[in-house]
A and B are shown apart, each in its own frame.
Chain A
Amino acid sequence: MQLPIYFDYASTTPADPRVVKKMQECLSLDGNFGNPASRSHSFGWKAEEATEQARSDVASLVNCDPREIVWTSGATESDNLAIKGSARFNKAKGNHIITSKVEHKAVLDSCRQLEREGFEISYLDPNSNGIITPEMVLNSITDQTILVSLMHINNEIGVINDIESIGKITRERGVIFHVDAAQSTGKLPIDLSKLEVDLMSFSAHKTYGPKGIGAMYARRKPRVRLEAQIHGGGHERGMRSGTLATHQIVGMGEAFRIAKEDMVQDNIRIKSLRDKFWDGLKDMEEVYLNGDPEHRAAGFLNVSFNYVEGESLIMALKDIAVSSGSACTSASLEPSYVLRAIGLKDELAHSSIRFAIGRFTTDEEIEYTIGLVRNAVGKLRALSPLWDMYKDGVDLDTIEWSTS
């Protein structure tokens, strides 16, 4: 077993060795380095063939037409294009957009920009399990609503929104439905021939592909119209200009092809590892699982260790790589907005750790980490005045804290 152990697969994943091999074939003179837009020679044709194969592989994972896939630089750009592009194109129809408080910043910040341009945004509160229900969406739609943007799987706690039911509502009301699926490719089956989703964002690097490449799905029937956000050359049917990055695209295609092939076995294995992990922690005192225990993607385990601050726990767990909802690990010094939105008290948000398990996690790593976590939490609690008070039966909510 090699240290440190990687438990941050929701942040990014290593590229699969099969992906790396394909990418390497598209860079040098003896490889497939041409510009896919070059029509006048075989270098261009060959490169185009590779990017179109990748487009088919991506489309195949989510069961859509390859012509509905637009290459972007990643899910952030896809979110920007989908939200700003569709809102600006459709502004004559209405100015109201619905999203939620637990979206990725790429969605929230795009919405903030639209607010500055005069759009009105409803930020839905999730239920205490972190989920946005179809009813919440239904109750928020007005005759001014043009767009609903929600994530498929939440990136902090891994809970799953029912995009099938939400899509029925938006379709019936003639509202565009965008889904950020950055976390869900390879984790959940996605069938766009059945889902009534109009726009979807994908990322390669959360699914064992390279960073710097993503895609956006734009439905053809019924057709969703967008205003391009990047101009110059008219690539991707005018929706996203810029020379196609053959090696990146081929990497994403291969990653998504593998995801389709391996998804079922991968997820059975990953879920059993996650359950084993939680089984090894849940008998500890004052330990809480964050997010819906059932409607949750396989790799996510977000846990709060009460009376222990998350950043100090990460430091004590120096042999494993995780992330925390603690303020001290964020640039803003605010605890996780996702955990706060699901109603977690600030101190439990400060105490949270996200363990994200993936394709290369082993049984041995889980066993080792359970021991490590139990030991570190024990040591930090021995150092925690709050733990003393809890053990003495003091209710921390009754104390007047001196905040400087």
Chain B
Amino acid sequence: MAYSKKVIDKFENTLAEPEKHSVGRWDPSESDIGTGMVGAPACGDVMRLQIKCEPRNNSHVISDVKFKTYGCGSAIASSSELVDMLKGKTLEEAKEIKNQDIVDALELPAIKIHCSVLAEDSIHQAIKDYESKI
């Protein structure tokens, strides 16, 4: 598997300094937390993305993010990349993030596009979960 240097760096940095790269979890029952979990162990990847949101102006802003991912190197790199994209965005802006943005940012090989799709799904689920609480 020929990964780009970006995937390898993202994976290695996340593994070396998990806290700095937002690895972790919050209690999903908290009112300001939205949780999305996608994938399946049998398929080899599961992503859990959590967003912490606060109301601002007429919208809600993602003030912090945490994630954990079981999966191949590019699945972990894709989640970590997504986290960087999400911080500080409004929910409307976050909904606009497409899997192609992750593919481009990490130069994912074609066989790993699936990882970016999973990452996109996780945002939509997390936002949906948060919106059900407000």
**B51-59, B70-78, B84-92, B100-108 - interface stretch:** B70-78
Indicate if the CB atoms of A379 and B44 lie closer than 8 Å.
no
Given contacts A312-B11, A312-B73, contact A385 B43 (CB under 8 A): no
**Chain B residues within 8 Å of A335, by CB:** 44
Indicate if the CB atoms of A379 and B39 lie closer than 8 Å.
no
Indicate if the CB atoms of A385 and B37 lie closer than 8 Å.
yes
Q: Which residue of B lies closest to A328 (CB)?
A: B72
Question: Which of A315, A316, A328, A380 is in CB contact (< 8 Å) with B44?
Answer: A328
Query: With an 8 A cutoff between CB atoms, is A388 at the interface?
Result: yes
Given contacts A326-B44, A327-B44, contact A380 B15 (CB under 8 A): yes
**A155-163, A190-198, A344-352 - interface stretch:** A344-352
Given contacts A333-B111, A385-B47, contact A404 B72 (CB under 8 A): no
Would you give the 0/1 interface string for B1-35, flagging 1 where the beta carbon is closer than 8 Å to chain A?
Answer: 10100001001101100100001010000000000
Indicate if the CB atoms of A403 and B25 lie closer than 8 Å.
no
- A-B Cβ contacts below 8 A, count: 98
Indicate if the CB atoms of A345 and B14 lie closer than 8 Å.
no
Indicate if the CB atoms of A402 and B37 lie closer than 8 Å.
yes
A308 vs B15: C-alpha distance when bound (angstroms)? 13
Query: With an 8 A cutoff between CB atoms, is B42 at the interface?
Result: yes
Query: With an 8 A cutoff between CB atoms, is B121 at the interface?
Result: yes
> What total of chain B residues lie within 8 Å of the partner, measured CB to CB?
35
Indicate if the CB atoms of B44 and A386 lie closer than 8 Å.
no
User: Shortest beta-carbon distance, B39 to chain A, in Å?
Assistant: 7
> Does more than half of chain A's interface fall in helix, strand or loop, or is it mixed?
helix
Enumerate B35-51 residues with CB–CB distance to A below 8 Å: 37-48
User: Shortest beta-carbon distance, B41 to chain A, in Å?
Assistant: 4
**Chain B residues within 8 Å of A361, by CB:** none
Q: Which residue of A lies closest to B14 (CB)?
A: A383
User: Shortest beta-carbon distance, A389 to chain B, in Å?
Assistant: 9
A328 vs B11: C-alpha distance when bound (angstroms)? 15
Indicate if the CB atoms of A346 and B1 lie closer than 8 Å.
no
Q: Which residue of B lies closest to A387 (CB)?
A: B70
**Chain B residues within 8 Å of A385, by CB:** 25, 37, 46-48, 68-70
Given contacts A326-B72, A388-B25, contact A383 B18 (CB under 8 A): yes
Q: Which residue of B lies closest to A396 (CB)?
A: B41
A387 vs B25: C-alpha distance when bound (angstroms)? 12
A87 vs B25: C-alpha distance when bound (angstroms)? 60
Query: With an 8 A cutoff between CB atoms, is B123 at the interface?
Result: no
A396 vs B12: C-alpha distance when bound (angstroms)? 28
User: Shortest beta-carbon distance, B130 to chain A, in Å?
Assistant: 17
**Chain A residues within 8 Å of B121, by CB:** 402, 404
A384 vs B23: C-alpha distance when bound (angstroms)? 9
**Chain A residues within 8 Å of B38, by CB:** 402, 404
Enumerate B120-134 residues with CB–CB distance to A below 8 Å: 121, 125
Q: Which residue of B lies closest to A335 (CB)?
A: B44
Indicate if the CB atoms of B46 and A383 lie closer than 8 Å.
no
**Chain B residues within 8 Å of A350, by CB:** 41-42, 44
User: Shortest beta-carbon distance, A39 to chain B, in Å?
Assistant: 49
Enumerate A377-404 residues with CB–CB distance to B below 8 Å: 379-380, 382-388, 396, 401-404
Question: Which of A328, A396, A404 is in CB contact (< 8 Å) with B118?
Answer: A404
Q: Which residue of B lies closest to A307 (CB)?
A: B70
User: Shortest beta-carbon distance, A343 to chain B, in Å?
Assistant: 14
Indicate if the CB atoms of A312 and B68 lie closer than 8 Å.
no
A329 vs B111: C-alpha distance when bound (angstroms)? 11
Indicate if the CB atoms of A309 and B15 lie closer than 8 Å.
no
**Chain B residues within 8 Å of A384, by CB:** 46, 68-70
Query: With an 8 A cutoff between CB atoms, is A57 at the interface?
Result: no
Indicate if the CB atoms of B70 and A309 lie closer than 8 Å.
yes
Query: With an 8 A cutoff between CB atoms, is B117 at the interface?
Result: yes
Query: With an 8 A cutoff between CB atoms, is A311 at the interface?
Result: yes
Given contacts A379-B18, A404-B117, A404-B121, contact A308 B72 (CB under 8 A): no
**Chain B residues within 8 Å of A387, by CB:** 70
Which 5 A/B pairs are nearest by Cβ-Cβ distance? A401-B40, A328-B72, A346-B42, A385-B48, A311-B72
Binding site for A on B (CB under 8 A): 1, 3, 8, 11-12, 14-15, 18, 23, 25, 37-48, 68-73, 75-76, 111, 117-118, 121, 125
A/B interface sample: 23 pairs, CB < 8 A:
A309-B75, A315-B8, A315-B12, A315-B73, A326-B72, A328-B1, A328-B71, A347-B41, A350-B41, A350-B44, A379-B15, A382-B18, A383-B76, A384-B46, A384-B68, A385-B68, A385-B70, A387-B70, A396-B41, A401-B40, A402-B121, A402-B125, A403-B39
